[in-house]
Structure 1
Amino acid sequence: MRKMLRLFAALMVTASLAGCAGGQASETPKAAPAGAQAEGEGGSAKAWKPEKDINVIVAYKAGSGTDTGARILCSIAEKYVGRTLLIVNKEGADGKIGYTELANAKPDGYTIGFINLPTYVSLAQEPDSVFNKDSVTPIVNHLFEPSVVVVKKDAPWNTIEEFIDYCKAHPGEVKCSTNGVKASNHIGIQLLAKKAGFEVSAIPYGGTADQLLALRQGEVEVSVPKAGDVASLTGENGELKVLASYTEQRLEDYPDVPTLKEKGYDLVYGSARALVAPAGTPQEVIDFYVDAFSKTMEDPENIEKSKNAGLSLSLMSPETLGEYIDEQDDFVKNTLPTLFD
């Protein structure tokens, strides 16, 4: 398990780059069901129950990939939580507004939220950040979403080779929308640019929904979102086309789309989306949510709805998620500087 996570986190711009496996839930890092562990600790998961509705902070706008997954998960989780889970969108500043509110919330169990990795730890390391990686307490990981290279359907490039060749011949000319400066999708395009030896002009839009809108409207020529973010925008009647995926094997939903590894670029990359609580939240509260959301993750309705939305479920216990956050923090600290020098 730990070996898999370390491969998953050690995304290096070198020939030895390693990472997580591709776009299927069965290929992503897994841990033993966290709920089983919580229930086995003297029944502590039942020691606390919420007495009022719970706010769930999403640091991105309604309709974003994080928001879509959060709404599916939380709507089904209500039968295990016993209260209404209210999605609170606090978008802006590349996610910093929502993450700041989540980190500063009262640790009483009535505010929890989602973080994206590595975006959260990247923002946490900024000099002016008011939160850090220890400002939140892990509950469970929800999703792991592999990254993909997408362009408009009428773009002049039909293969990743054509795109890369054009970028090499026109350094800095191609504009790439991102979900924020040094956020997950910005990291994705920089990994490819460094590995393939080209330059693009990265333009931050503060969130994936706006990033993709910019691409659809022709403000930019390329984006590197997650596969689930473009599930409804690709295909025969879609506005976008996928040129390549950052996965070990081809994605089930895109069997004709090559991986970057197939094309000689040893890149495997994506983003995790996890549930956390403010630091200082009592252990009995964390245990309650671990139990409730672990059951939700395994609920057939959640599995079906997530699959239909193009989301890749990846359950991690709080302990494993905590290790992964530490590893992503190390990745941002030691590898990111090589991408943005």
Structure 2
Amino acid sequence: MRLTVLTPSFGSYSDSPSARSAQLDIELDYRTENHPKSGQNLIEEISGAEAVLVGLDRMDAEVFAACPGLKVVAKHGAGVDNIDLAAAAEAGVTVVNTPGANAESVADLTLGFLIMGARKIRTAESSLRDGRWEVFFGSQLSGKRLGILGFGRIGRAVAERATGFGLRIAAYDPYVPDDAIAEAGVEPRSLTEVVAESDFLTLHLPGGQEPLLSAELIDSMPQGAGLINAARGGLIDENALISALESGRLSFAALDAFATEPPPADGPLMHAPNLIATPHIGAYSDIANANMGSWAVEDVVRVLQGEDPRFPVS
């Protein structure tokens, strides 16, 4: 069995995925240059492949139509918005992903963002490095309200961590029943209620065609609130975010995902005040990297052997 690997992050921080591949007698065919790939460039790389491991590579109807031998596409991560699932189903291709493999890693980053923004750590450090000795008053977390949009594995992991800081937590998720949220010790609320009532708001939902946080919703956030997005860049109206940072309605925003990646270095977003920005590093930890690669390889083998995968995406 052979697996064509397109994402350069596969096994980059752990030997476990390649070791697991060897155990399962999977030959790894690395095609990781110029990632992410799309269109004819992608077709040329995976022509004749039975199994493909993708990162952000765009698997659309054209690709599936041009690769009739393809049997399984494995996403090195959870989000599958770069894969046309309807086209895959029509072509008879099984799509699998690795949900939860990076949940703890993304939750860790989210809490790091929360503390950095609330205590103005980035601004204070920059000031000190510039030779100043200034006072920076921040927000103590205990007693404050944390809103979580998206209460899947990552949202739950964030809530578990935030509870230890004494935050009052509410959550909204259109796919999770309210009673399931309440069972986790978190108050279920509507989207508008969570946004309007949270001192800190963190996003953990899949992206869509339109931003979830519109200008109207951002304007409804409490004065001086903080906003964190370690999910998908398209969830936020970035122009409205810039305005909210410039006006001071938001005391900080911390972004690990952007509508355009990488974002233009000379664009207005990168020059907005009180912005913490990282290059989509949420899943880049040692354990997450080991889990994503190993779980993906295991499901590829299951599909190629005619078995049901552990993590099918319909």
Asked if Structure 1 and Structure 2 have the same fold, meaning a TM-score greater than 0.5 normalized by the shorter chain, the answer is no
Whose RCO is larger (CA < 8 A, sep 6+)?
1
TM-score (normalizing by structure 1):
0.32
Larger gyration radius, structure 1 or structure 2: 2
TM-score (norm 2): 0.34
